[in-house]
Amino acid sequence: MVEDFPMATEEIRRAMPRTLCAVRKRRSVRDGLEAAHFLASVWEGSLLITLVYSKPIDAEEWLKEAREVCQEIGERVELVGRSKGAVARTGRDHVVETYEVGDDKRLLSYKHTEGAFSNPNRDVTIATMEFLCSCARGFGAADASLLEMYCGNGNHTCALASVFKRILAVEINPKLVDAARESCAMNGVTNAEIVLADSQNVSKRLTRGQFTDATGASVSPKDFAAVLVDPPRAGLDDDTLKLVAEFDHVLYVSCGPENFFRNFEAGMAKTHAIERFIILDHFPYTQHVEIAAYMKRVV
């Protein structure tokens, strides 16, 4: 029997046994329940719990009991019920997290949507932002533009917007694109364009000179001083790696260190040097480790 989950936030730790107790008392939220997913905001103290079912739920009956469950668990709690072909919500389907970044404790807020990826470790998320900003300032990015691949919910985009003159950010997940645009709006970022697209296709089009921005203007790799990539654990595909190798300044965040070094050896080892490198334990208590590196062209 697992009695506690000490690596989680206090909000999640308190809510777990309360959720189990509250759900057991109510048939409509109990029957067919397979899993409970927890998403918390440390800054605002809110909690979103997704209950996943193996059989269809009756949305009306589920909502009635789910609201009772929310009241029993505590304040600032919302529930989402998911079964095949049905989704029910007691309120919003996201939380908003705010980070204090840099020595000046600049506040940046982000929308973390249920069912979409968000960084699990608050302190390491801040450390990642600060590392990227420090690297960019180091190579003089104030009057330069940044191409960002795999931008997610705009975590790095908003942090780097004050460092670069312009950012063109690419993300394939529509939920994350919407979240990134909302995050930009929340943080007053007006110099970033979020593009819904596959990075591999964007890389091909940029290489061929066939990519255009929101204004219809043609865009090429020469329009950017630097590129930032934060790919899935498998690393960069061949087309994106070929594009990335064209840049003088490369920022790479990787949750698969082996694939990062494979990409480096295959695409940049002969032309770039690793100037700065950091280990970021985004996933404590697991075997996974994340790293970030800044690479500069030397040839």
Active site residue 255: yes
CB 148 within 8 A of CB 121: no
Quote the Cα angle for 38-41-44, to 5°. 140
3-state helix, strand, coil in the chain (%, to 5): 35, 30, 35
| Catalytic one of 11, 114, 182, 290 | 290
Coil, strand or helix: which one is 258?
helix
- Cα-only R_g, the chain: 21
CB 22 within 8 A of CB 16: no
DSSP 221: G
CB 272 within 8 A of CB 260: no
Q: Tokens 């997290």 — which residue?
A: 97
Measured in whole angstroms, the distance separating CA 115 from the mean position of its chain's CA atoms is 12
Orientation angle between helical segments 59-73 and 10-24, nearest 10 degrees: 130
Coil, strand or helix: which one is 117?
coil
| Catalytic one of 100, 255, 265, 275 | 255
Active site residue 290: yes
The sign of the dihedral angle between the CA atoms of 187, 190, 195, 199 is negative
Number of helices (H), then strands (E), in the chain:
9, 15
CB atoms within 10 A of CB 135: 25
Distances (CA, A) of 213 to 20, 178, 230, 234, 287: 49, 17, 21, 28, 40
Please give the backbone phi and psi of residue 154, each rounded to the nearest 5 degrees, phi first. 85, 20
Coil, strand or helix: which one is 3?
coil
Q: Catalytic amino acids?
A: 255, 290
